[in-house]
Structures are given as C-alpha cells and as structure tokens.
Amino acid sequence: MLKLYNTLTKKVEEFIPIDPNEVKFYVCGPTVYDYFHIGNARSFVMADIVRRYLEYKGYKVKFVMNLTDVDDKIIKKANEEKISTTDVTDKYITAFFEDIAKLKIKKATVYPKATEHIREIVDMIETLEQKDFAYNEDGNVFYDVKHFNGYGKLSGKNIEELEIGARIDVNEEKKDPLDFALWKKAKEGEPSWDSPWGKGRPGWHIECSAMSCKHLGETFDIHAGGSDLIFPHHENEIAQSEAANGKPFVKYWLHFGFLNINEQKMSKSLGNFFTAREVVKKYSAEALRLFYSQAYYRGPLNFSEELLASAEKGLEKITNLVDKVNDELKKSNSGVKPEFDFKSFYQHFEKAMDEDLNTSQAVAVIFDFVKEVNRVIASSENVDVNFYNDVKTFLTKTAENVLGIVDFNKTTTSDDKLVGELVELLITLRTEAKQNKNYQLSDTIRDRLKELGVVLQDSKEGTSYKIGR
RNA sequence: GGCGCUGUACCCAAGCGGUCUAAGGGGAAGGUCUGCAAAACCUUUAUUCGUCGGUUCGAAUCCGACCGGCGCCUCCA
C-alpha cells in the first residue's frame, strides 16, 4: 500500500487512484530557454522514480510533462541572441530530450507544448470570464483571485496576509495585486495569437490548467513539481481549473525539495548552478540518480562534487556485482543453488518505497542485498546459474527499473570484438609470465593496461578484465 | 512580519513512542585471499541523536523554550 505526502492536506495519505486501471500524473516540465541544471534534474528524476514505482506496483501510468515554450525568459533570450523565439525553443527542446535520455528518465506519455494549445487556453479563459473569474483590461486578462473561494489552500497562505506582504505591483491595471495574468496583450516583436481580447499570448499558469485538463481530464491523480512552484504557480492552477471546471483539480500534490550549493538553493538567478549535461560528462547518470535517491525527496539536498564522487564510489559496489552476474550468466554453469531469501528483500524494498518513497531506505536494501549475495557467492562452491538469474531479476526490478541506478546492458568488457580478443591475449601472456614467476613482466602488463583504462582482476577462476565505464 | 522545512558519527543520510547498546553509502583502521595488487569477504569506527526543561513505566522520536541553518511569500524544479 503506497502512501504519499500530499501538500494539499499536509498529511501522508494512502494512494488510491481515481481510475484503478490508469494513474494520471502531471509534472511541470521545463521552460525551454536554457539547459536545465541538476536542481531541475532532481525534480525530473524523482518524478521519474515515482512513475516507475507506480509501474512496478502494476499501475498503468499516463505521464504528462508540459514544455513551456512561450514565456518572458524565452523572449528575452531570443532578443539577446537576436534570433527568433522558435529558434530558442527548438534548440532547448532538443537539448532537453538529449539530457533526459542521458539521465535515464523514461519518456513521458505526452509532452504538450503551450504554443500548440492556444485554442484550449483561450477556451478556458473564456469560461473563466463567463463565470466572472476573469476580467479584461484593455487586452490584458486577469484572474480575479478574490472571487475564488479557497485561494491559498495549497500553500497555506491566506489572502489578507499575502496582501500585507505583497510588493507594489507595477501593473496598475490589476484590480488587486494578487490577481495574475491569464492573457497578456501583445507587445511589439513578441509572439502573439488572435483571441477574443485581441492579439496576445497566454500567461504562465493557464497553460498547465488547460493542458492537464485536455490530456488527463478535469480531475486527475498526481500533480508534481519543485517546491518553489507551490506558490504561486500551483495555487493559481487550482484557482483556474477549479473555477473553470467546478470540480476538484488534483487528488495528490507532490513537491520536491531543492538542491542546494553551500546550503543555498541552486538557481539560475543566483548563478550557482551546474547543468545536468556538464555533470553527466564527468559522473554517470546512475551515480547522480543514486545521489538523489540517498536523500528524502521532499527535503533539501546539498550538492558538491565530493558527494557525487562518493555516490559514484558506492555505486561500484553494485556494478561490481552486476558485472559478476553478467559474467556468470554468460558462463551458464550448473551447480548448486544456494539458499537465499529473495522474498524478504523484495518486501523490504517495497516497504521502504511504500512509506512515502523512502528511497534512501530502498537504496540501503539494495546495498544489503548486494552484500548478502556477495557473502553467499564467497562461501559457496559451484553456484548454479539460476541463482544469478534470480539476482539479476531482483536488481533489474528494483535498482534498474525503479531507481535507475544500475544498467545490466552497460558492458564492462569491450564492445569491439578485436579489442576484447587482444586483451584476452595479453591476459594469457601475463598468466604465463606469472607461472614463470616473471612478476616484473606480469605487473608491467597489468600497469600498462590500467593506464589504458583496462583493469585486470585475478581470482581463483582466473583473470578477468574490465573497461572503465 | 506570515507560512513551511531542518539540526543524528569525520562527511552524506535513514529513523515517525519500546524490536535503537541508532540503517545504508563515503572515508579511516585491522584481517582473510593474492607473488604483489585490485575486487570480494570479515571486523572496528554514535550508550548517543543542537541545548535546556517537561510528558511518559519508556523519547532521537511527543510538548515547550532557547540556539543555529534553509526555503516560499517576486521569475525559478
């Protein structure tokens, strides 16, 4: 029984999908004006893990992630670089897909773009206008926050306090500083579309309301995003969707904690960020995902290269076993199948994940499993290939398919047949040298190969090699 | 000012009233194996959970005060 912390109720609740056959899941995706950083990546990866775990539990998941491709920042970038806004969005949408592929994030069912849903957005604003939740001021359409009963229920804010703290808004067309733009009147040189209020473009919040409704319906199961979206973005989405549809918007709200650098939030505006693409050049995607998984998804997580390096190191413990298993499966020895309680490891893993996605606990289960398997292998002779099959099944289902921290298809031997055979030849020569007690030669072979990135490992069964991942 | 999160070993981090003389990873130390390494395995590394009080038979876990860190309230995952 999966339990999730729901920002709306501020409680951990049992997850019960509206439609038992299909979970409907929406995640706020990127504004495509730049490469995303590893703070953004944390949200994307954690949402991916939630999605994968739901699938592990047997749910079919319709997973929708929007791409915000019309926005002030995009326009600004286009002006700076003297290119069109579509040049900007095309470039960063391509980059986005490259990056999520590198991070092993499963593809969403749909990636709706704001610019391809202008019709739906205009329709929703019209509905809001008809229901008196929106007003038009000279081509700018605003949402009338005061008219929506329950504004602030997600973020725990109340309107009076917000007004006291509210900064003076430069836009004097609004009736109330809390009101926000649904439709922005076109300015010179900006992308715009025709609408009942004249040429213009959608405000930021309305796209998520319109597109989630189109792809997931008026009420759906899970809506997720970074904690900084709680207010005002998600609060505004609720106001728009519930006012327009007259129905509850979302059942479970999930929010991901920030990635900090030196205890400070990583953000574009502070400039203290690393893009996901630069990090994945130096560290593996699996290590990054392990790093995220070792912390609770809602809390802050401090980032440093040292921490990532230690995750990479810890990962080796698991990948060593993965290599060993792949090796044994190739050899396919028959022998004795050791006693091993796989079932309890599955149970522990599920118990951890069920308890509001305790991924750090789940990771601990994986490490315990690896340790236990190693112990069994070390103390048994003639281990049957079926045991390795079961080990692979466990790690595939949990560490690979849910957490995405291992990859059984990543090979540590050479892809190139010739290279593999040459290494094998050197190993044979080195073994001969060893038998002749010519350790100087055998060590030279080992050292030189290491410099080339090929690590030799001697064991009772002989020498194996590994090419740096 | 309002709302919320947070303080556990050298570092990261789980823990949600008793099974905690507190998971897991990194680091460090010793050992088994090895010609030597590497990998793997074994052992050690918090009687203590920011501080001080309280509730309780019993608290890292609940309550209060205090000290410290962070976030949101404005674009931001």
pLDDT > 90 in chain A, percent = 72
Tell me: do A346 and A438 sit in the same domain: no
User: Are residues A224 and A254 in contact, defined by beta-carbon separation less than 8 angstroms?
Assistant: yes
CA of A144 to C1' of B25 (A): 51
User: Are residues A68 and A207 in contact, defined by beta-carbon separation less than 8 angstroms?
Assistant: yes
A252-274 average pLDDT score = 87
Tell me: do A322 and A203 sit in the same domain: no
pLDDT tens digits, residue range A223-252? 999 999 999 999 999 999 999 999 999 999
Beta strands in A175-295 (DSSP E): 180-185, 200-202, 220-226, 250-256, 259-261, 264-265
Q: Is residue A308 part of a domain?
A: no
CA of A280 to C1' of B65 (A): 47
How is residue A141 written in tokens? 């359409």
Tell me: do A339 and A387 sit in the same domain: yes
User: Are residues A128 and A205 in contact, defined by beta-carbon separation less than 8 angstroms?
Assistant: no
For A393, the 3-state DSSP assignment is: helix
Tell me the CATH number at A361: 1.20.120
| Residue that finishes a domain, picked among A381, A403, A425 | A403
Q: Is residue A289 part of a domain?
A: no
Which residue is closest to B14 in terms of CA–C1' distance? A361
A430: nearest nucleotide, CA–C1' criterion: B35
pLDDT in the model for residue A168: 43
Tell me: do A227 and A92 sit in the same domain: yes
Q: What share of chain A is helix, strand, coil (3-state, %, to 5)?
A: 50, 15, 35
Tell me: do A240 and A184 sit in the same domain: yes
Confidence of residue A33 (pLDDT cuts 50, 70, 90): very high
Q: Is residue A291 part of a domain?
A: no
pLDDT in the model for residue A171: 58
Could you give the CA distance from residue A435 to residue A280 in angstroms, rounded to a whole number?
42
CA of A263 to C1' of B68 (A): 13
In 10 A of CB A238, how many CB atoms?
25
Tell me: do A161 and A21 sit in the same domain: yes
Average pLDDT score, chain A = 91
In 10 A of CB A74, how many CB atoms?
22
CA of A160 to C1' of B16 (A): 34
pLDDT tens digits, residue range A340-397? 999 999 999 999 999 999 999 999 999 999 999 988 888 888 889 999 999 999 999 9
A42: nearest nucleotide, CA–C1' criterion: B77
Matching residue, tokens 């630069």: A278
Q: Is residue A293 part of a domain?
A: no
Tell me: do A133 and A230 sit in the same domain: yes
Q: Is residue A248 part of a domain?
A: yes
Q: Is residue A19 part of a domain?
A: yes
Q: Is residue A287 part of a domain?
A: no
| Residue that finishes a domain, picked among A354, A379, A403 | A403
Domain span at A441 = 417-467
Could you give the CA distance from residue A202 to residue A299 in angstroms, rounded to a whole number?
33
Q: Is residue A305 part of a domain?
A: no
Tell me: do A187 and A107 sit in the same domain: yes
Listed in sequence order, the residues at least 6 apart from A27 whose beta carbon sits closer than 8 Å to its beta carbon are: A43, A44, A47, A63, A64, A65, A108, A223, A224, A225
Confidence of residue A414 (pLDDT cuts 50, 70, 90): low
A181-203 average pLDDT score = 94
A44: nearest nucleotide, CA–C1' criterion: B77
Q: Tell me which H or E stretch contains A27.
A: strand A23-27
If one counts the domains in chain A, the total is 3
Which residue is closest to B11 in terms of CA–C1' distance? A307
Backbone angles phi, psi at A26, to 5 degrees: -120, 135
Could you give the CA distance from residue A210 to residue A148 in angstroms, rounded to a whole number?
18
A100-104 average pLDDT score = 96
How is residue A3 written in tokens? 């339990």
Tell me: do A182 and A71 sit in the same domain: yes
Confidence of residue A35 (pLDDT cuts 50, 70, 90): very high
Strand B nucleotides, any atom under 7 Å to a protein CB: 1-6, 11-16, 23-27, 33-42, 69-77
Tell me the CATH number at A101: 3.40.50.620
Minimum mean pLDDT range among A56-60, A92-96, A310-314: A310-314
Tell me: do A379 and A426 sit in the same domain: no
Instruction: Report the DSSP pairing between strands A259-261 and A264-265.
Output: antiparallel
Residue A69 has pLDDT above 90, yes or no: yes
In 10 A of CB A14, how many CB atoms?
9
pLDDT in the model for residue A27: 96
Identity (one letter) of the amino acid at A204? W
pLDDT in the model for residue A163: 67
pLDDT tens digits, residue range A145-186? 999 999 999 998 887 777 655 544 455 678 888 899 999 999
Long-range contacts, stretch A452-459, CB < 8 angstroms, 24+ apart? A454/A423, A456/A427, A456/A430
Confidence of residue A262 (pLDDT cuts 50, 70, 90): confident
Residue A17 has pLDDT above 90, yes or no: yes
Tell me: do A141 and A166 sit in the same domain: yes
Could you give the CA distance from residue A123 to residue A418 in angstroms, rounded to a whole number?
62
User: CA–CA distance from A185 to each of A26, A67, A177, A249 (Å)?
Assistant: 28, 22, 18, 28
Cα Rg, chain A, nearest whole Å: 27
A295: nearest nucleotide, CA–C1' criterion: B13
Look up the ipTM and state it: 0.94
CA of A430 to C1' of B36 (A): 14
User: Are residues A24 and A216 in contact, defined by beta-carbon separation less than 8 angstroms?
Assistant: yes
- Looking at per-residue pLDDT, the higher value among A417 and A47 belongs to A47
Confidence of residue A421 (pLDDT cuts 50, 70, 90): confident
DSSP of A356-370: T--HHHHHHHHHHHH
Tell me: do A333 and A231 sit in the same domain: no
User: Are residues A110 and A64 in contact, defined by beta-carbon separation less than 8 angstroms?
Assistant: yes
Matching residue, tokens 């189109």: A214
Residue A72 has pLDDT above 80, yes or no: yes
| Residue that finishes a domain, picked among A265, A282, A299 | A282
